Structure 1
């Protein structure tokens, strides 16, 4: 896939998928109405804002890297041609999912709404099953030894503190 097409495809993916999952659905659940903060303190809301702010750059950067470095999109119908192992991908194999999860959970804390926390847990569970059943086998098939080395060195969900450097 050529880079301009990959950039356009990734931009469309961003608007359709993560914006719906981390924006439209949380709005539909909460109408973004504040409830009493968890634990009765504004600190939980501050943590929520921090999670949202932390999740946004990870999401945007991950999608950008798929297009610019991988010459593809996050969508399974137009995958990357090159394994992306830079940026946040040097710390964790699934920064895009973790970023969306941080945004969802951040909104749950900000709005004091357990429904969003439950939605975040459901989102992560679905992502985990998708990663195990589809993504990892597909990446192994497409990138073989390169992906195996990446898998051995970079955790699936809990980020490593020091960035991994490809071989």
Structure 2
């Protein structure tokens, strides 16, 4: 059971944040990444890396929390069995999305790519629409009063 949950989380981590915050940004700003590593790194490169690493840490912490406390994955196709309100979820209802956004902001800073800044705005918009119109209604249906009480005490973002 634990191995299955680990493998499902690994799969969805590669599929979702891996594509959104890894593959697509690399494809959009490939030359910018190559140029950054071809020359000497500047302070903004280090700042971008720091922001990106913080985002990775937040995202991985949330994924682990979903597996351990929620008994599920980050994917809407394989959601948690229990409402997760511990860890970073005490401060934000959507810290995993915040983590992914931090990765994107860090990559945009690192590469100085206008394409990544625009992409990040699009991703944030898509996240917000998905949360409001799909995820929150499902959580209200699945977890009822406990989710509604949680929403009263914890903000959607930060």
| TM-score over 0.5 for the pair | yes
Q: How does 1:142-157 map to 2 (within 5 A)?
A: 142-157=142-157
Separation in structure 1 between the aligned mates of residue 78 and residue 46 of structure 2, nearest angstrom: 38
- Equivalent residues in 2 for 1:82-101 (5 A)? 82-101=82-101
Q: Pick closer, same or farther for the CA change 1:135–1:44 going to 2, 3 Å.
A: same
TM-score, structure 1 as length reference: 0.85
Query: Deviation per CA, 1:103-160, whole angstroms, max 9, x where unpaired?
Result: 01111101111111111110000000000000000000110111011111111112xx
Structure 2 residue matching 1:69: 3-state secondary structure: helix
Counterpart of 2:60 in structure 1 is 60
1:52/1:101 CA distance change after superposition, 3 Å: same
CA–CA distance in structure 1, aligned partners of residues 50 and 153 of structure 2 = 28
Shift of 1:50: 2.0
| TM-score normalized by the length of structure 2 | 0.89
5+ residue gaps, structure 1: 36-41, 159-167
Counterpart for residue 25 of structure 1: 24
8 Å contact from structure 1 (residues 140, 148) kept in 2: yes
- 1:5, 1:48 → 2: CA distance? 35
RMSD of Structure 2 on Structure 1 (CA): 1.4
Q: Deviations over 1:8-62 (max 9, x none)?
A: 2111101111111111111101112347xxxxxx444333122111101111111
The aligned length equals 151
Higher helix share: 2
Correspondences of 1:123-134 after superposition (within 5 Å): 123-134=123-134
Q: Separation in 2 of the partners of 1:149 and 1:7?
A: 30
* Map of 1:12 onto structure 2: 11
Return closer, same or farther for 1:101/1:134 CA change in 2, 3 Å cut-off. Answer: same
Partner secondary structure for residue 93 of structure 1: coil
